[in-house]
Amino acid sequence: MPLTIEVKGIKAYGKHGVYADEKKEEQLFLIDVKAILRDTSRARDNIEEDLLEETINYEKIVESVIELVKEESFNLIETLALKIVDVLKNPKLQEILVTVHKPNTILNQKTEDISVTASEEF
């Protein structure tokens, strides 16, 4: 059975959205990453050696997500989610799922959460 790494609620600030105000002021995005490691006997043996280089470094996931959200600007959070998937691709992964939450939208008074999930299997 493959191992699953989840990093939830990465706090990243960026300028994403279709409205002019969203492009001017940074806003908060919360990103969840679910990374499913390839389940091979070699991978399992190496992880049992308790070595960081044999798995996915959570710190690098967080840093990569924060950097992309800050440095790029997209109209759609759908595009942002797909770009995060691309940045986090790794040969150690079997699948990756990325959910981008946009907590501050014009629909705040009518919705609890707006999010998009993108995934890819390798």
Q: Rounded to whole angstroms, what are the CA distances from 97 to 17, 19, 88, 114, 120?
A: 21, 27, 10, 16, 7
Q: Hey, is 82 helix, strand or coil?
A: helix
* Selected catalytic residue, list 11, 70, 102, 110: 102
* Active site (annotated) includes residue 102: yes
Left (φ > 0), alpha (ψ -120 to 50) or beta: where does 14 sit?
Answer: beta
Active site residues: 102
